[in-house]
Amino acid sequence: MRPDTAYHDEMGRQFAVQATGSAYHAYTDRPAMLRMAGDVSGLRVLDLGCGAGHLAAELVQRGAAQVVGVEGSEALLRVARERLGEGAVLHHHDLEEPLAYLADRSFDLAVMALVYHHIDARRELLSEIRRVLRPGGTLLVSTTHPTSDWAYFGGSYFADERVELPFGDGFALNFWRMTLEQFLGELLGSGFVLEELAEPRATEEARLVDPRRYDKTHNQPLFLSVRLRRP
């Protein structure tokens, strides 16, 4: 049976707080995703695993015509609803299941920030994303960097296994550790075309907020972000 990897209840509440100002989320992954998104004004955007709605809120603020968020944790959806108000449509949904309620070719941009590695049914999910994106649409995916996982968990770089990373106050993030070859292979094998790959480092603001993590991201790649085109 697949583990339920959504950040429920107290774990979700702790993530929501952390995602607001943490060096890794607010100042490393999110700015990289927003830079890769480029000009989103007038676009119909799907945010998969939208969490507490931080990225969605930025997309709304930058003029996206429509933002739809999908998230498996009710606790996080509550925070996202408070943050976004009427600015976005939010769905409670397990990303292991098809996005049956979303129409074919109905989005210009799909974003999936630090969610992909949680999912078992990744090929099925990619096929659904391909279905709901219009031809020429963009998919942005970020994940934990394979070498960072290797450095932390040890063993073989080529290990293909679920791992648990301690998180917050006694919780654990459960996700797939995968090689670069596997990560990119799945995306390209699902028919997407790679346009850009980035190994983001924390922005200058993080120097003041959290100098230790700022330095860490400048010495070791912790995240990986890609921009892909749906042909």
Ligand X SMILES: C[S@@+](CC[C@H](N)C(=O)[O-])C[C@H]1O[C@@H](n2cnc3c(N)ncnc32)[C@H](O)[C@@H]1O
Q: Interface residues with ligand X (CB under 6 A)?
A: 5-7, 19, 25, 49-51, 54-55, 71-73, 76, 94-96, 113-115, 118-119
- Residue 121 near residue 96 (C-beta atoms within 8 A): yes
In 3-state terms, what secondary structure has residue 134? strand
d(CA 88, CA 71): 13
Cβ closest to ligand X, residue 136 vs residue 169: 169
Q: Find where tokens 């850009």 sit.
A: 196
Q: Name the minimum Å distance from CB 186 to ligand X.
A: 16
- Residue 117 near residue 88 (C-beta atoms within 8 A): no
Residue 30 CB neighbours (<10 A) = 21
Q: What are phi and psi of 219, to 5 degrees?
A: -110, -25
Q: Name the minimum Å distance from CB 180 to ligand X.
A: 19
Cβ closest to ligand X, residue 24 vs residue 214: 24
Cβ closest to ligand X, residue 73 vs residue 217: 73
Cβ closest to ligand X, residue 74 vs residue 156: 74
Cβ closest to ligand X, residue 115 vs residue 184: 115
Cβ neighbourhood burial of 180 (10 Å; 0-12, 13-18, 19+): middle
Q: Name the minimum Å distance from CB 231 to ligand X.
A: 25
Q: Name the minimum Å distance from CB 135 to ligand X.
A: 25
Q: Name the minimum Å distance from CB 79 to ligand X.
A: 10
